[in-house]
């Protein structure tokens, strides 16, 4: 378990260093990570395939339900990585041979992994719920364009400003809710949610978390743009009229890069936050 560090030796959250640790972990543990990613990626691929086959016939709620198994798989992956990075517990876990010690360690590990998975899934479900509020229909976008151009609305035509107002509130309150996205780290590392969140707020780490995440995100987004462009050019794809197979290929590449972003950012944030806690063997 991780406990608070001594106030006499207060650490510093270095954003670049933490991001560097994330990238280094991805490279150093690439063989181990490929083994871990395999099952979650296959599950993700299957869900993407199902969504592609159904196309636009799937509602927003149904699409999220289809993605649910992949969320559990991603939560398992990230929980395993957090345990591996923080406590050097690799999967499958090597045992010492002392039955009592191994039993306690496995029980604690199992509880933390399950807690991490459930927390990760709940965070994503909350995000999907919020996303459903923010989504603008094509009709709403057209109406918004009319309003922006000063064109009077037709009789009976209405427009809800709720998504825009919600987005503004979200942006201005980001320093308060952004740490909540990473609560699955606390669950996997056996840190109380309250201690995790209050440590971030008291140390004013929210902006550092955001900056660290951006450092982890941007290089992969640039790489993804180049890779997608290469695939589109190499296969002569028409982005305005993609076939089902082409859509699945591009989406699979995007999802794989997404896994890499999650791994690097999770390790980076874990590295930065764990410095404010001392590590116990459990």
Q: Which residue has the higher pLDDT, 246 or 17?
A: 17
Domain of 170, in residue numbers: 2-146+159-279
Q: Within a domain: residue 274?
A: yes
Whether 187 and 116 have beta carbons less than 8 Å apart is answered as yes
Q: Within a domain: residue 151?
A: no
| Tokens 């590449």 found at | 253
Q: Within a domain: residue 152?
A: no
SS3 36: helix
Paired with 278 in beta bridges are 3
pTM: 0.87
pLDDT band of 12, cuts 50, 70, 90: confident
Q: Select from 155, 197, 157 the least CA-distant residue to 177.
A: 197
Q: Within a domain: residue 273?
A: yes
pLDDT band of 130, cuts 50, 70, 90: confident
Q: How many domains does the chain have?
A: 1
**CA 73/CA 259 separation, integer angstroms:** 11
Looking at residues 196-222, what average pLDDT do you find? 96
Q: Within a domain: residue 74?
A: yes
Looking at residues 139-156, what average pLDDT do you find? 66
Whether 69 and 106 have beta carbons less than 8 Å apart is answered as no
**CA 153/CA 143 separation, integer angstroms:** 8
pLDDT band of 18, cuts 50, 70, 90: very high
pLDDT at 201 over 80: yes
**15-24, 142-151, 194-203: segment of lowest average pLDDT:** 142-151
> Tokens representing 56?
């636009």
pLDDT at 35 over 90: yes
pLDDT of amino acid 34: 94
Please, which residues have CB within 8 angstroms of residue 199's CB and are 6 or more apart in sequence?
A: 4, 205, 273, 276, 277
pLDDT at 121 over 90: yes
Q: Give per-residue pLDDT as tens, 75-103.
A: 999 999 999 999 999 887 777 777 888 88
| Tokens 């089902």 found at | 244
> Tokens representing 141?
């976008």
**CA 227/CA 232 separation, integer angstroms:** 9
Q: Within a domain: residue 136?
A: yes
Q: Within a domain: residue 171?
A: yes
pLDDT at 176 over 60: yes
pLDDT of amino acid 248: 85
Q: Within a domain: residue 252?
A: yes
Q: Which residue has the higher pLDDT, 114 or 242?
A: 114
Looking at residues 235-261, what average pLDDT do you find? 89
pLDDT at 6 over 60: no
pLDDT at 279 over 60: no
Looking at residues 1-21, what average pLDDT do you find? 76
pLDDT of amino acid 281: 43
Q: Of 91-95, 152-156, 269-273, which one has max mean pLDDT?
A: 269-273
Q: Give per-residue pLDDT as tens, 43-56.
A: 999 998 888 777 66
């Amino acid at each position: 378990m991780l406990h608070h560090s001594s106030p006499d030796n207060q650490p510093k959250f270095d954003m670049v260093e933490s991001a560097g640790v994330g990238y280094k972990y991805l490279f150093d543990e690439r063989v181990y990570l490929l083994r871990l990613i395999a099952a979650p990626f296959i599950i993700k691929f299957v869900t993407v395939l199902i969504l592609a086959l159904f196309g636009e016939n799937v509602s927003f709620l149904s699409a999220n339900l289809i993605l649910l198994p992949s969320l559990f798989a991603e939560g398992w992956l990230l929980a395993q990585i957090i345990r591996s990075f923080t406590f050097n517990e690799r999967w499958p876990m090597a045992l010492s041979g002392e039955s009592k010690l191994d039993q306690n360690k496995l029980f604690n590990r199992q509880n933390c992994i399950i807690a991490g998975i459930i927390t990760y899934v709940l965070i994503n479900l909350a995000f999907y719920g919020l996303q459903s509020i923010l989504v603008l229909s094509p009709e709403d976008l057209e109406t918004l364009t009319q309003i922006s151009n000063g064109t009077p609305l037709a009789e009976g035509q209405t427009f809800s400003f709720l998504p825009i107002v919600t987005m503004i509130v979200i942006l201005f309150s980001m320093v308060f809710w952004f740490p909540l996205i990473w609560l699955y780290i606390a669950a996997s590392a056996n840190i109380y949610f309250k201690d995790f969140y209050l440590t971030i707020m008291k140390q004013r780490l929210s902006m550092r978390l955001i900056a660290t995440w951006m450092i982890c995100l941007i290089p992969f987004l640039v790489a993804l743009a180049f890779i997608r462009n290469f695939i589109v050019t190499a296969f002569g794809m028409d982005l305005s009229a993609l076939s089902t197979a082409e859509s699945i290929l591009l989406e699979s590449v995007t999802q794989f890069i997404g896994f890499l972003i999650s791994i690097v950012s999770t390790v980076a944030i874990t590295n930065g936050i764990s410095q404010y806690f001392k590590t116990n063997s459990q």
